[in-house]
Structure 1
């Protein structure tokens, strides 16, 4: 049976000590998901097993929310650690609560935000720990997509590594209960930590500060950290364009620089009219339009003519997602002939490397003279796929050996440091999750900033949106912001 709750309010100092005692805060040497070693590890999920601590933390968060200059009508906890905290606040103070889903249901309302709300209402975001602020921002973006206004966020612990500044640059004011420096002071005074341990953590914090232009790494608990290793040089789009010898990769990077966009829309609709209408609406926000021409039920050559005209109008390239996977002589004919004549209108196509180099040679024989290019499928986003490990390594080697025609990869993360090779990642939405058919979704921040990819490929997040143009704008901004975050 749980111990009865003490009615006297727990001081912040006592709360910090209790968090340490239940190992919600640990000090030592911890390898994070990013591979770097950290002297401090914070995991507040454990407090759900300590009701008294859970309640006290929620009360301090509520107190911090009273400093908000903007009147909020509801609150939303960042999934998943902050959900019980938000629930405690909501029940104690009779405050309406919203829940942000990490994935949409494939039945019912299919909503990403659960709960009752009015368009334009103001919502307070609740979080446990902030390092970069990216988790708060992702929740805020999901709320804003549902026409919910976010101006403030409350957090128990600010690690003082730049998260508050980043959120401020996005128009969100962070109100923290405690800083990591305060926590260190309390633990040193209470003799929980020694002087050398304190200095290790302070040094780590100082070396891992970042701003809106710095790189971010994510650890296993959902917290984020900047790598304290010396970062490799990140080339901007314009510099990379100057390093490319293939005219397609050069043009694509120039478009990305000019339009400030790393967004590719996957126009997977089944009628020509629907595709053309969608492309005309989202065209100003994208660098690539990806098609599956063989799913069109009313295809005629007029479709590709009009698509090419839209590409010129809105300054984007066309990527036919054909996934060639046969011997060279067969793909040569599939690429150049048939009813689709892909090589005549698609700037880029793609291929599996399973058949070996012959598939590249067959495509190259047609495409090279037409200033076309190919990307190889090195990794996939579906559950249980076999494109990984040795397969991915062999695919990279093939690309490097055919760099006159192969300009990059379909992948889940950066596979090579060669700045002339582009990395394109599908399965991107503003919130993480999985659909009913095993498609895994990851966020623009995870794809571009954390995994080092170059282009986000978005399908249903745009095609199923009520306003595809507005959705494309949001993805464009999120993707470009994630790109900027790679630079010191």
Structure 2
């Protein structure tokens, strides 16, 4: 593609007010000297077709690489449609919200598991909108490793996507736009300087490991950032339970949590006693224990002291505040009396946190929010996940992290725990999707990997637990300088 074509495109975008200069408040709350509104392109069909052609050319012969294209809803849908029609490539539509009737699909269109899809977006800042679409497609078994955007604002989106194994192609960059308009005499040099200063001051490159592995290749890509050690994280976070957990992880050289989903108390206690030296957390589902008793809880607590690990009851509270408060404190389980950590679904709103917090805060307990899930077709994506992060930020004195499939925030107060981890990736007959320890820690940013059947169903659970401990900890070491 020639510079003349790009110059003409930039001039047109300025002429139709898709590029504006002044003082604008962005969605993030930042004040920007430039505002990009590419939605106006839909009123110029010929120009929209030209944009689609330029974007397709930028991917360099993409017709041999992809079975589908998918536009990020909603602004990029018209552009994706133009690419689909012009290049004769089937299009997929990702819904932002699932239907509560009919097929309840999140992805519309015909596809096969393993198909590759090109993501189409109009503008990228942080890359979060692209990642939401990628996650939805991944949940359906569709592979994504490339995205094309008309304009990259150069504020960290490209590196964030690279952290998730996705190469971002862009037709234009924000710097290119302002410098071209200045060369054409459309804007003063002061606007170029203001824009360049804004880009430099608001570049949010996400902290990512020194090597990542994409879902479609075993070749590692180099990226530029590093993570903090467990000791440094312990010093940065505020909650005493988080500090204790990071201290355990540092002392025992492990980021492994054992999910001990067995139905007999003696079986649970036996495997916890043998595997306890290799884990930082033991996660239970006490409502499946057929012979539950207070004696069982006492023995479990003794093992936690003996082997120095945290107890996490995976109750997933999901009701109004008063109800969850009763469930947490009462009944035969009396969870608040022994579980260091519990988790909740954010779907009822902040009341579900307040109900647990009413008792748990004074006891020094902590809470995790289920912000993402590892099961195929789950609805914990997009705006739901964003709302979960916001709720956590509102309750930092009690919420210590997330159950998730990706790193949701760089705030040191929040620990990211990723379930669905096995030594080899894949899925099961009930829709559980597995990641390797390396993938979970290096690619997805997990602080803690949660392993269940991979250990408790192993012929030799102890040696298997050692394997997971070493794999998870070695992956963590790769994220350090």
TM range (shorter): 0.5 to 0.7
Does residue 1:317 correspond to 2:310, yes or no? yes
Secondary structure of residue in 2 paired with 1:370? coil
Q: 1:214 to 1:357 in 2, by over 3 A?
A: closer
- State the distance in 1 between where 2:328 and 2:394 align: 21
1:297 is matched with 290
For 1:307-333, what per-residue CA distance to the aligned partner results, in whole angstroms no more than 9, with x for missing partners?
000000000000000000000000011
Q: CA deviation at 1:216?
A: 1.6
- State the distance in 2 between where 1:487 and 1:244 align: 18
Q: CA deviation at 1:377?
A: 0.0
Does residue 1:351 correspond to 2:363, yes or no? no
Give the 4+ runs in structure 1 shifted more than 6 A. 27-30
Q: 1:247 to 1:214 in 2, by over 3 A?
A: closer
Of residues 198, 219, 237 in structure 1, which corresponds to 2:214? 219
Number of aligned residue pairs = 281
1:130 is matched with none
Of residues 426, 431, 445 in structure 2, which corresponds to 1:438? 431
Secondary structure of residue in 1 paired with 2:322? helix
1:255 is matched with 248
- State the distance in 2 between where 1:338 and 1:324 align: 14
2:330 is matched with 337
Q: For the Cα contact (< 8 Å) 1:216–1:224, is it kept in 2?
A: no
Secondary structure of residue in 1 paired with 2:392? helix
1:416 is matched with 409
Secondary structure of residue in 2 paired with 1:346? coil
Secondary structure of residue in 1 paired with 2:362? helix
Secondary structure of residue in 2 paired with 1:400? helix
Q: For the Cα contact (< 8 Å) 1:235–1:419, is it kept in 2?
A: no
- State the distance in 1 between where 2:456 and 2:61 align: 45
* Runs of 5+ consecutive residues of structure 1 not aligned to the other structure: 1-26, 33-79, 81-212
- State the distance in 1 between where 2:458 and 2:296 align: 23
Q: CA deviation at 1:474?
A: 0.4
Q: For the Cα contact (< 8 Å) 2:415–2:447, is it kept in 1?
A: yes
Secondary structure of residue in 2 paired with 1:448? helix
Secondary structure of residue in 1 paired with 2:258? strand
1:373 is matched with 366
Secondary structure of residue in 1 paired with 2:416? strand
1:3 is matched with none
For 1:421-477, what per-residue CA distance to the aligned partner results, in whole angstroms no more than 9, with x for missing partners?
100000100000111111111100000011111110000000001111111100000
- State the distance in 1 between where 2:216 and 2:330 align: 51
2:108 is matched with none
* TM-score under structure 1 length normalisation: 0.56
Q: For the Cα contact (< 8 Å) 2:209–2:227, is it kept in 1?
A: no
- State the distance in 1 between where 2:321 and 2:209 align: 44
Q: 1:223 to 1:372 in 2, by over 3 A?
A: same
Name which structure has the greater RCO, CA cutoff 8 Å, separation 6+: 1
- State the distance in 1 between where 2:231 and 2:215 align: 34
1:144 is matched with none
* Structure 2 counterparts to residues 105-184 of structure 1, below 5 A: none
For 1:383-432, what per-residue CA distance to the aligned partner results, in whole angstroms no more than 9, with x for missing partners?
11100110000000111110100000000010001122100000100000
Q: 1:222 to 1:313 in 2, by over 3 A?
A: same
Q: For the Cα contact (< 8 Å) 1:215–1:450, is it kept in 2?
A: no
